[in-house]
Amino acid sequence: MHNKLHFIDVLGRTTGAHRKQDPDSFEYTLPAEITSIYPLTASEKLYQIQIIDPELRNRFSFKPGQFVMLELPGIGEAPFSISSSPVRRGDLELCIRAVGNFTNFLAKMERGAKVGITGPFGTHFPLEKMQGNDILLIGGGLGIVPLRSPLLAVLENRSRYGRVDIMYGAKSPMELLFTYQYEEWRRFDITLGITVDKADKGWKGRTGLITELLQERIKQTTSLRENTYAIVCGPPVMFHFVCKMLTEAGLPMQKMFVSLERRMHCGRGKCCRCNIGSTYTCLDGPVFDYWSVMNLKEAI
Amino acid sequence: MIFKVFKNQELARLHELLAVNIVVGPVAKGNDRNGKPLYDFDVVYDFNELALDYTQTVHSPKRFVLPYQETLSTFAVNRKDWEKHVDFNVYRPLVFFGMHACDINALNKLDLVLAQSTYPNPYYMGKRKNLFIIGIDCKPEPQCFCRSMGTDSAIHGFDVFLTDLGGKYFAEILSATAFDLLGQISCQDPSAKDLALYKQATNGKNKHYTAQVETSDLTKILDLEFESPAWDYWGEKCLSCGTCANVCPTCYCYGVEEHVDLDLQHASKTKSLHSCNLIDFAKVAGGHNFRPTSASRLKYRYYHKHRGFVEAFEESLCVGCGRCGTACLADITPPEVIASVRGKE
């Protein structure tokens, strides 16, 4: 019987290695609780999700642009960009539109519900490089959601950055997100430009495409080549026009960042569902500089 | 590496020694419609069931390390809270008796992405580490292009590799367990004549390759030919059925689903292997599909195998076993697809 092979157990060998290297933590989910829910529009809600264990909550650190996998046991798991400030650590805010099975179920959940959080995953916007520079935050529709985290991080240290512009376009005034925070952002000397595709009766702001807003901003400076960074997030068609316009205005491709959306089933570079060409959006993205995106086939 | 030779009849003894473990090997599974014998890997209880002279198994050995369906975790759920239980589904070692070099190389390639990259996958690692692999040489089949992919011989990833010298097996030993095991059967150090026979056997094998893929600069050519009409030609033929990924030894893409039990007290999270050729592969909530056409999905499969994996790990993910071409209902084979993308008829 001595030829019975020795069983190699991979379980229970946690060595304190970083979770990226530790196989034991592959399927580990942080228990979390929905502490509050703000309806923002008819279909989007802002969920405050807090990691229950105070120590784990404090140890949870992320950078703006990264995402988490939100798990509803028995329903599914899906990736969401974090829209809260990184200083709040494991006290997260996720803005989620009810659009599929998972998010529609989530929309029916109430405060106090227990969920699971895994992450953070992916690359981030390099805010450290952006210090001392002007920043253009350009968002279309739900694209404002991943922009809110870098924006809040900038507000934490407002004096370290130059002029900060937000250009935000939505289909209609009813679909504008975070409206209650616009005044607060303006108080921090953020130039806020908002445009909608289709105005309603009460709308006093501007109507038109986001590229018109951007055109005006570009005219105010001679060139974007020096000391400007841009973060762009929105539907693929918007990327196309906005990035082209920024390039023409002289902004170098490596100073323009985009956040891409793909289907994901693991977040850990294993399921291949998020591959663009063959680049994993979950490991090498979701934040890419425009140069990398240009080199990715079928990215935008 | 340590080499030994032993007589063919000693192989039964080797199986007998290992039979205290679960042994998996190639077994005959009837004939196809042309009368050609079919083989597949299955649990073997009797040495005589082993078909070690098999041509190629229909399915790859990947299901023993990457099951087609696997429960990742279970949940105990109540109204207020839930608890997650994780089981990596690794229970016992497995002996693989008779694996060809291409399949060994396929496991080595899976190791790169599933065990040696960031976020190593314990479900895979546990099963892989508990494999004892006896490799065996093969005769190239018409669909095999492993020589083009550099996977016609295995240099690591097995415990012992056997080459039939006619009446004798030439054994390359890679692990202490295998060395110990061969010590229990009657085997000798190879003589100069054995070495000559071994070289003759490998040379003889090389003459039998018919299919081939031109791999020089393939990553660059794929990049240049992204818009090639060849993709539309093959895309039109492709049925988007995912059979190629099913039989492929290195396709590891998957999808995850969660289910609630009828008692509403338990839930489970299940992983199922998927295929990038299936229509919903890149479809996101809200209905947008990043790869809506069969041509774009077929193209993506080739890009992942022959370009993306090379970018990440300096080698192609394809081992050239040709199973996808054999299994394809539309007769799409990698040598033909790559030749047409290169512009050769």
The interface predicted TM-score (ipTM) is 0.87
Task: Give the distance from residue B286's alpha carbon to the nearest chain A alpha carbon, in angstroms.
Answer: 6
Per DSSP, helices labelled H in B225-267 are 229-237, 243-247
Q: How far apart are alpha carbons B345 and B194 in whole angstroms?
A: 43
In 3D space, the residue among B55, B62, B163, B50 whose CA is nearest the CA of residue B105 turns out to be B62
Report the mean per-residue pLDDT for chain A: 88
CB contact under 8 A, B93 and A114: no
> Which DSSP category does B96 fall into?
E
Cβ(B168)–Cβ(B7) under 8 Å?
yes
User: What confidence category does residue B319 fall into, taking pLDDT thresholds of 50, 70 and 90?
Assistant: very high
Helix (H/G/I), strand (E/B), else coil: B40: strand
- What percent of chain B lies above the pLDDT cut of 90? 59
pLDDT for B213: 87
Q: How many interchain CB pairs under 8 A, A with B?
A: 162
Q: B241 lies in which domain range?
A: 213-345
Q: Are residues B168 and B259 in the same domain?
A: no
Least confident of A59-63, A123-127, A161-165, B204-208: B204-208
CB A62 within 8 A of CB A86: yes
What pLDDT is recorded for position A298? Answer: 72
Q: Are both B127 and B194 inside the same structural domain?
A: yes
Task: Check CB contact under 8 Å for B258 and A10.
Answer: no
| pLDDT over 60 at B133, yes or no | yes
Domain boundary among B168, B187, B210: B210
Does residue B3 sit within a domain?
Answer: yes
**Residue B104 confidence (pLDDT):** 95
Half-sphere exposure of A213 (CA within 13 A, CB side): 26
* B85 DSSP β-pair partners: B74
Copy the structure tokens of residue B25: 């090997």
pTM: 0.91
Disruptive mutation site among A9, A34, A278 for chain B (greatest number of B CBs within 10 Å): A278
Are B159 and B237 members of one domain? no
Which residue does chain B place closest to A272, by CA atoms?
A: B253
Residue in A99, A266, A279 closest to B285 by CB: A99
Condensed to tens digits (0 to 9), the pLDDT of residues A168-183 reads 999 999 889 898 999 9
- Arithmetic mean of pLDDT, A86-110: 91
Stretch B110-130: mean pLDDT, rounded? Answer: 91
The amino acid that residue B39 corresponds to is: Y
Distance CA B315, CA B308 (A): 9
Interface test with B, best of A1, A2, A5, A274 (most B CBs within 10 A): A5
What pLDDT score does A300 carry? 67
Find which of B116, B175, B284 to mutate to test the A interface (most A CBs within 10 Å of its CB): B284
Mean pLDDT confidence for A28-57? 92
Q: In chain A, which among 97-156 make CB contacts under 8 A with chain B?
A: 99-103, 114, 116
Question: Does A23 sit within 8 Å of B125, measured CB to CB?
Answer: yes
Of B137, B72, B133, whose CA–CA distance to B101 is shortest?
B137
Class of domain A127-295: alpha beta
Average pLDDT over residues A86-112: 91
Tell me if B291 is assigned to some domain: yes
For residue A14, pLDDT beyond 60: no
Place of tokens 């997030």: A233
Residue A235: its chain B contacts at CB < 8 A?
none
Lowest mean pLDDT among A45-54, A150-159, A291-300, B212-221: A291-300
Regarding the domain delimited by A25-120, which CATH topology (the fold level of the hierarchy) does it fall under? Elongation Factor Tu (Ef-tu); domain 3 (2.40.30)
Contact B258 A270 (CB under 8 A): no
CA–CA min distance B223, chain A (Å): 8
Label residue A16 by pLDDT band (50, 70, 90).
low
Which residues in B257-293 are b (16+ Cβ under 10 Å) and which e? ebeeeeeeebbbbbbebbbbbbeebbbbbeeeebbeb
Question: Which of B18, B118, B270, B309 would you mutate first to test chain A, the one with the most A CBs within 10 A?
Answer: B118
Question: Residue B16: helix, strand or coil by DSSP?
Answer: helix
A5 chain-B contacts, CB cut-off 8 A: 21, 93, 95, 130, 132, 177
Chain A residue closest in CA terms to B75:
A73
Determine the residue of chain B that is closest to A236 in CA distance: B290
User: If you average pLDDT over residues B63-79, what whole number do you get?
Assistant: 92
Asked whether the beta carbons of residue A4 and residue B129 sit closer than 8 angstroms, the reply is no
Could you say which residues from 171 to 210 on chain A have a Cβ atom under 8 Å away from some Cβ of chain B? none
Contacts of B256 in chain A (CB under 8 A): 76-77, 265-266, 271
Q: What is the pLDDT of residue A13?
A: 59
Torsion (CA) A274, A277, A283, A289 in degrees, nearest 10: -110
Same domain (yes/no): B185, B247: no
Summarize the confidence of residues A133-147 as an average pLDDT.
91
Q: How far is CA B170 from CA A102, B3, B101, B157, B201, in A?
A: 57, 7, 15, 18, 10
Distances (CA, A) of A73 to B59, B64, B269: 33, 27, 8
Residues of A in Cβ contact (< 8 Å) with B253? 271-273
CA dist., res. A193 & res. A165, Å (int): 8
* pLDDT confidence tier of residue A1, bands split at 50, 70 and 90: low
Separation in Å, CA of A112 to nearest CA in chain B? 8
pLDDT score at A116: 93
Using left for φ > 0, alpha for ψ between -120 and 50, and beta otherwise, residue B236 falls in alpha
Same domain, B116 and B15: yes
Residue at a domain's end among B186, B210, B234: B210
**Claim to verify: residue B148 and residue B279 sit in the same structural domain:** no
Strand-by-strand arrangement of the B82-86 sheet: B82-86, B69-77, B266-273, B254-260
Query: Looking at B210, B242, B258, which one is the last position of a domain?
Result: B210
Regarding whether B108 and B217 lie in a shared domain, the answer is no
pLDDT at A10: 65
Report yes or no: A94 and A124 within 8 Å, Cβ to Cβ: no
The CA distance from A281 to the nearest CA of chain B, in Å, is 12
- B chain contacts of residue A111, beta-carbon cutoff 8 Å: none
Residue A224 pLDDT greater than 80, yes or no = no
Q: What is the DSSP string of chain A?
A: -TTSPPP---TT---S--TTT-GGGTT--EEEEEEEEEE-SSSEEEEEEEESSHHHHHH----TT-EEEEEETTTEEEEEE--S-GGGTTEEEEEEE--SHHHHHHHT--TT-EEEEEEEES----HHHHTTSEEEEEEEGGGHHHHHHHHHHHHHTGGGS--EEEEEEESSGGG-S-GGGHHHHHHTTEEEEEEESS--TT--SEES-HHHHHHHHHHTSS-SSSSEEEEEES-HHHHHHHHHHHHHTT--GGGEEEE-----S-SSSSS-TTEETTEETTTT-SEEEHHHHHHSTT--
3-state DSSP assignment of residue B106: helix
Query: Which structure tokens are listed for A168?
Result: 């935000």
pLDDT at A89: 87
Q: What is the CA radius of gyration of chain B?
A: 22
Question: Are the C-beta atoms of B98 and B25 separated by less than 8 Å?
Answer: yes
> Closest by alpha carbon to A82, among A123, A136, A113, A54?
A123
Three-class SS state of B221: helix
Angle at alpha carbon of residue B319, lines to B318 and B323, rounded to 5°: 90
- Check residue A12 and give its pLDDT: 57
Residues of B in contact with A102 (CB under 8 A): 285
Q: Phi and psi dihedrals of B173, rounded to 5?
A: -110, 125
Taking an 8 Å cut-off on Cβ atoms, the answer to whether B93 and A5 are in contact is yes
Contact A26 B75 (CB under 8 A): no
Average pLDDT, chain B: 90
Number of domains observed in the structure of chain B: 2
For chain A, the structural domain boundaries read: 25-120, 127-295
Average pLDDT for residues A48-76, to the nearest whole number? 92
Residue B329, pLDDT above cutoff 80: yes
Residues B105 and B41 in one domain: yes
| Ramachandran area for residue A132 (φ above 0: left; ψ -120 to 50: alpha; else beta) | left
pLDDT of B102 higher than 90: yes
